[in-house]
């Protein structure tokens, strides 16, 4: 008798589960099955891509214009019918732009592939945005372009065969962690941004530089990255050309760039090999930086280069590699 009673209760529970209330069903993710025309998200919530998407010519695929949005590509691909170099795969921006603050916060974009746009992902005025587990290739400009998005997290992505891999501009406190950028024009860049953390990335086989901390970017940590086989510079701190003067000029004759200097950055425990120059600090564009415990080998010109005679206020400690001055240790 007890067994029959338990079975009856189980059947009631099962039927209750199968008959999902409308209010509960509505709380599930919104499904996205097309981006032709552009799919525009204007309400917070969870969104799930249900199949591969093909964008209309010259347009974005998905625009996110709301805070607290979680977009899961669920392993699907967003692409164009041809690699035309227009539009953005996924654009996260506060529309209309230019009303800083507050921007749109709490946005996450994860788990998919984006192919053939001008930019794979572009964020503008999106503080705290999370971009994770994305593969982006064949972008005409940037695979990932993070602008005016303080506190952003860019983690576990693969950016390849694009104009530039990962770009962080006009943002602070951004984490770029565990990404791979390869076969791009350049690997990863920081521009007009402070307190950026570039950690455990693999940056290989890019045509130009591996990582650049463009002027005036300061208080950037570049730690535990693998940087190899890039066509020009492994790491460039500051704006400047690869003017390898021997001997380099003193600080008094170095001309600062019009944008200022890159300073108070820390480069440590990185492994660089087979670039044109491993770590390069231009005269007048980089000062008060700390470069320590890096292993730099096999570069075609020199492994470690400071463009200011006597290294100015840059501190080089316990680095391995050939060097252009005795002030580099």
What pLDDT digit, counting tens, does each position of 277-326 carry?
Answer: 999 998 888 889 999 999 999 999 999 999 988 998 899 999 999 999 99
| CB-based contacts of 233, cutoff 8 Å, min separation 6 | 208, 209, 210, 212, 242, 275, 276, 277, 278, 280
* C-alpha Rg value of the chain to the nearest Å: 24
pLDDT, average across residues 73-91: 89
Token pair in block for residue 260 = 């200022």
Q: How far apart are CA 123 and CA 107, in angstroms?
A: 10
DSSP class of residue 14 equals H
Lowest-confidence pick of 115-119, 153-157, 241-245? 241-245
Q: Tell me how far apart the alpha carbons of residues 184 and 159 are, in angstroms, rounded to a whole number.
A: 8
Residue 28: is its pLDDT beyond 70?
yes
pLDDT at 22 over 60: no
What's the pLDDT band for 80 if we cut at 50, 70, 90? confident
CB neighbour list of residue 274: distance below 8 Å, 6 or more residues apart? 228, 229, 298, 299, 300
**Alpha-carbon distances of 7 from 15, 19, 163, rounded to whole Å:** 12, 18, 63
- In angstroms, the CA 142 to CA 176 distance is 15
Q: What's the pLDDT at 103? A: 82
At residue 321, φ and ψ (nearest 5 deg) are: 150, 165
Torsion sign, CA atoms 257, 260, 155, 226? positive
pLDDT score at 13:
33
Half-sphere exposure of 154 (CA within 13 A, CB side): 38
Give yes or no for residue 29 having a pLDDT over 60: yes
pLDDT in the model for residue 7: 33
Kindly give the residue spans of alpha helices, DSSP state H, lying in the chain.
2-18, 22-26
Number of neighbouring beta carbons within 10 Å of residue 293: 13
Mean pLDDT for 19-44 is: 76
Reduce the DSSP state of residue 184 to 3 states and report it.
coil
Residue 101: pLDDT band with limits 50, 70, 90: low
State the average pLDDT over residues 40-59. 96
pLDDT at 33 over 70: yes
For the segment 117-141, the average pLDDT, to the nearest whole number, is 97
Please check the confidence at residue 212 and state whether its pLDDT lies above 70: yes
pTM score, two decimals?
0.88
Taking residues 247-273, what's their average pLDDT? 81
> What percentage of the chain reaches a pLDDT higher than 90?
74
pLDDT at 24: 28
Element (H, E) at 314: none
How far apart CA 239 and CA 175 sit, in angstroms, is 22
């Amino acid at each position: 008798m007890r067994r029959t009673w338990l079975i009856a209760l189980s059947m009631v529970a099962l039927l209750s589960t199968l008959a999902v209330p409308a209010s509960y069903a509505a709380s599930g993710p919104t499904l996205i099955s097309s981006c032709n025309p552009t799919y525009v998200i204007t309400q917070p919530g969870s969104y799930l891509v249900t199949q591969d998407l093909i964008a209309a010519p010259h347009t974005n695929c998905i625009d996110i214009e709301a805070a607290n949005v979680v977009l899961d590509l669920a392993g699907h691909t967003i692409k164009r019918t041809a690699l035309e170099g227009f539009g953005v795969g996924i654009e996260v921006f506060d529309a209309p732009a230019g009303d800083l603050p507050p921007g749109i916060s709490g946005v996450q974009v994860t788990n998919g592939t984006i192919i053939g746009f001008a930019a794979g992902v572009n964020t503008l005025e999106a503080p705290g945005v999370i971009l994770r587990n994305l593969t982006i290739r064949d972008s005409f400009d940037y695979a990932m372009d993070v602008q005016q998005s303080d506190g952003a997290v860019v983690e576990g992505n693969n950016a390849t065969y694009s104009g530039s891999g990962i770009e962080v501009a006009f943002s602070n406190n951004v984490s770029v962690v565990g990404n791979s950028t390869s076969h791009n024009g350049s690997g990863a860049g920081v521009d007009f941004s402070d307190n950026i953390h570039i950690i455990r990335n693999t940056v290989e086989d890019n045509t130009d530089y591996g990582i650049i901390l463009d002027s005036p970017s300061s208080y950037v940590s570049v730690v535990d990255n693998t940087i190899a086989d890039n066509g020009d510079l492994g790491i460039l701190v500051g704006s400047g050309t690869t003017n390898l003067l021997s001997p380099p000029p003193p600080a008094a004759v170095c001309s600062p760039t019009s944008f200022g200097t890159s300073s108070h950055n820390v480069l440590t425990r990185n492994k660089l090999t087979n670039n044109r120059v491993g770590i390069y600090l231009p005269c007048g564009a980089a000062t008060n930086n700390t470069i320590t415990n890096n292993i730099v080998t096999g570069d075609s010109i020199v492994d470690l280069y400071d463009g200011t005679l006597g290294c100015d206020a840059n501190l080089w400690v316990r680095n391995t590699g050939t060097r252009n001055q005795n002030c580099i240790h």
